[in-house]
Structure 1
């Protein structure tokens, strides 16, 4: 195998397992041209990190051999082009049914997400809701964090946007996210910085809604 010198040994092992399916420590040693002891150290570290898993293979002669394969967790090392497919499909939908249909699709997604997460917000104080929302967004890859400004105000920051390529073209995606946050939190939410508009992060200022007297 021709090795890319820009990759670390760890990354090369992951790449080899991706292209070969399963390999033993001896196989990896031969591919990489390093010592068996060095390969073993990397294997131990990759197992510990949950990126590879062993399987014992019985041999016609001699002791059984362990072969290694990637876990599902290792898939994040490989590029995915989901956004390109999504953009193509949204473009086709816009051509066939108009931009309004694309906007309605984002609205439906917002409603679906609200139904999915609304139970997590029930009977919670605003601070607990903001914490729960940050946790939800982290699970979805947004690298979110939050902080309390005072008793009634909070800031939520998202350092990553998994749908940034889509949001760059379809601003309604950002509008729907803002609406979703307002609905889930039951609070006033203002976005002051946006990744899709050239910002370094998405920043949301959250304020407790004032109770209006009857």
Structure 2
């Protein structure tokens, strides 16, 4: 039983790193509701198996923080497995804590992503912010194209959504992405097409406020 629980916890950690990007031990411990020592034990196993990697990030104050992320080897696990795992975990969370807790989870993910990318946007013109956002989303697997149109208007098209299965069932995921775009771009952003609603892509029209 304990071995099964350990394997399940490691799957959750891998899913967190897949959906949220690089995380510190403290971030994972808080979300899992376990001690940092317990998280480190699982990370040691995952690192030994070549599924995660660590890097030190210097802080303005205090000691450097070690952030963990998936390796390319771990990425191969997900096309067949992580969508179902994520949906199962969210369903369990709703059963245990209610749908509001799932909404809070998506909200926290949105705030974490904004915090991660905001510095790249600061001081940039809207056109540059749109370009940077497209590059970020491309790096995350969204297959993005963007263009400028007349009247200082821009369009971002996402031809792939790595979290389609989740977004199909939990529309709050799409709402959080829209809010994240609005915050990072500091602009009026409208979603005009959505993969989760049967569209051929996710399309966003962006104008200055």
CA–CA distance in 1 between the matches of 2:78 and 2:85? 16
Segments of 5+ residues of structure 1 without an aligned counterpart are 1-70, 210-214
Which residue number in structure 2 is paired with residue 92 of structure 1?
A: 92
Runs of 4 or more, structure 1, over 3 Å off, are: 71-80
Shift of 1:77: 9.4
CA 133–78 in structure 1, closer or farther in 2 if over 3 Å, else same: closer
Whose Rg is larger?
A: 1
Q: Distance in 1 between matches of 2:206 and 2:103?
A: 25
Q: CA deviation at 1:191?
A: 0.3
**What is the RMSD of the two structures over their aligned residues, measured on CA atoms?**
1.9
- Structure 2's unaligned 5+ residue stretches are 1-70
2:74 and 2:92 map into 1 onto residues whose CA distance is: 32
1:86-113 Cα deviation digits (max 9, x unpaired) = 1101000001111111001100000000
CA distance in 2, matches of 1:203, 1:117: 20
Count of matched residue pairs: 139
Structure-2 separation of matches of 1:188 and 1:78: 34
Gap change, CA 1:87 and 1:123, over 3 Å in 2:
same
| Structure 1 segment 126-145 matched on structure 2, within 5 A | 126-145=126-145
Q: Deviations over 1:116-153 (max 9, x none)?
A: 00011011000000000000000000000100012421
Task: Report the counterpart of residue 195 of structure 1 in structure 2.
Answer: 195
TM-score, L = length of structure 2: 0.63
Q: Separation in 2 of the partners of 1:204 and 1:122?
A: 21
Query: 1:150–1:109: structure 2 CA closer, same or farther, 3 Å change rule?
Result: same
Residue in structure 1 matched with residue 21 of structure 2 by the alignment: none
Structure having the larger proportion of residues in helix: 2
Residue 147 of structure 1 is matched in structure 2 by: 147
Under a length normalisation based on structure 1, what TM-score does the superposition of the two structures give?
0.62
1:121 maps to 121
Q: Match of 1:186?
A: 186
